[in-house]
Amino acid sequence: MFGRNVSQRGGMCPSCDPADHIYFIGSMRFPRRRANNQDRTGFYNRYRKDLRGGAFLKSMDRFIRMGVEENFTDLIGGIYDATLDATLWSPVLARAAEFVGGSAAALFSKDPAGDSGDVYYQVGIDSYYQKLYFDKYVSLDPTTTGHFFAEVEQPVAIADFMPYDRFLETRFYREWVQPQGLVDFVSAALEKSMTSVAMFGVFRHERDGIVDDEARRRMRLILPHIRRAVLIGRLFKLEQAEAASFADILDGLSAGMFLVDGRGAIVHANRAARAFLDDSDFLSSIGGRLTARDPHVDRALRDVFAAADLGDVEIGVKGIAVPLSARTGLGYVAHVLPLTSGDRRRAGIAYAAAAAVFVRKAALETPSPPEVIAKAYNLTPSELRVLHAIVEIGGVPEVAAALGIAATTVKTHLARLFEKTGAKRQADLVKLVAGFSGLLVG
Q: Is residue 8 part of a domain?
A: no
pLDDT over threshold 70, residue 110: yes
Q: Indicate if 219 and 305 belong to the same structural domain.
A: no
Q: Indicate if 73 and 190 belong to the same structural domain.
A: yes
Q: What letter represents residue 311's amino acid? A: G
Residues 204-230: pLDDT tens digits?
999 999 999 999 999 999 998 898 888
Contact 337, 83 (CB under 8 A): yes
What whole-number distance in Å separates Cα of residue 156 and Cα of residue 158? 7
Residues 96-107: pLDDT tens digits?
999 999 999 999
Q: Is residue 393 part of a domain?
A: yes
Per-residue pLDDT band at 203 (split at 50, 70, 90): very high
Residue finishing a domain among 339, 361, 383: 361
Q: Is residue 9 part of a domain?
A: no
Q: Is residue 92 part of a domain?
A: yes
Q: How far is CA 141 from CA 51, 119, 399, in A?
A: 52, 16, 12
What whole-number distance in Å separates Cα of residue 363 and Cα of residue 321? 12
State residue 174's pLDDT score: 93
Partners of 105 in the β-ladder: 123, 202
Max CA pair span of the chain: 85
Q: For the domain that residue 171 is a member of, what is the CATH number?
A: 3.30.450.80
Partners of 197 in the β-ladder: 110, 192
- H/E element holding 55? helix 55-81
**Which residues lie below 8 Å from residue 113, measured CB to CB, with a gap of 6+?**
195, 368, 369, 370, 437
Checking 173-178 for CB contacts under 8 A at 24+ apart, the result is: 173/404, 175/137, 176/129, 176/132, 176/133, 176/137, 176/140, 176/141
Residue finishing a domain among 332, 361, 390: 361
Q: How many residues does the chain have?
A: 442
Contact 300, 324 (CB under 8 A): no
Q: pLDDT higher for 271 or 155? A: 155
Interstrand relation of 322-325 and 289-292 (parallel, antiparallel or unpaired)? unpaired
Partners of 154 in the β-ladder: none
Q: Is residue 2 part of a domain?
A: no
* Number of folded domains that form the chain: 4
Among the residue ranges 78-92, 247-261, 368-382, 401-415, the one predicted with the least confidence is 247-261
pLDDT over threshold 90, residue 30: no
pLDDT over threshold 50, residue 141: yes
Partners of 24 in the β-ladder: 29
Q: Looking at residues 240-258, what average pLDDT do you find?
A: 57
Three-class SS state of 339: coil
Q: Indicate if 195 and 110 belong to the same structural domain.
A: yes
Mean pLDDT of the chain: 74
State residue 47's pLDDT score: 40
pLDDT over threshold 80, residue 293: yes
Q: Helix 381-392 to helix 426-441 angle, to the nearest 10 degrees?
A: 100
Q: Indicate if 185 and 329 belong to the same structural domain.
A: no
Q: Indicate if 100 and 168 belong to the same structural domain.
A: yes
Q: Is residue 59 part of a domain?
A: no
Q: For the domain that residue 382 is a member of, what is the CATH number?
A: 1.10.10.10
Tell me the three-class secondary structure of 230-278, residue by residue.
HHHHCCCCCCCCCHHHHHHHHHCCCCEEEEECCCCEEEEECHHHHHHHH
Q: Looking at residues 313-321, what average pLDDT do you find?
A: 62
Q: Indicate if 119 and 224 belong to the same structural domain.
A: yes
Q: Is residue 198 part of a domain?
A: yes
Q: Indicate if 80 and 45 belong to the same structural domain.
A: no
Q: Indicate if 163 and 292 belong to the same structural domain.
A: no
- How many C-beta atoms lie closer than 10 Å to residue 323's C-beta? 14
Q: Indicate if 183 and 44 belong to the same structural domain.
A: no
Per-residue pLDDT band at 5 (split at 50, 70, 90): very low
Q: Looking at residues 259-276, what average pLDDT do you find?
A: 86
Q: Indicate if 213 and 334 belong to the same structural domain.
A: no
Q: Indicate if 180 and 91 belong to the same structural domain.
A: yes
- H/E element holding 389? helix 381-392
**CB-neighbour burial class of residue 247 (10 A; exposed 0-12, middle 13-18, buried 19+):** buried
What whole-number distance in Å separates Cα of residue 256 and Cα of residue 131? 37
Which residue range forms the structural domain that includes residue 303? 243-361
Q: Indicate if 72 and 211 belong to the same structural domain.
A: yes
What whole-number distance in Å separates Cα of residue 283 and Cα of residue 306? 18
Q: Is residue 47 part of a domain?
A: yes
Residue finishing a domain among 361, 394, 416: 361
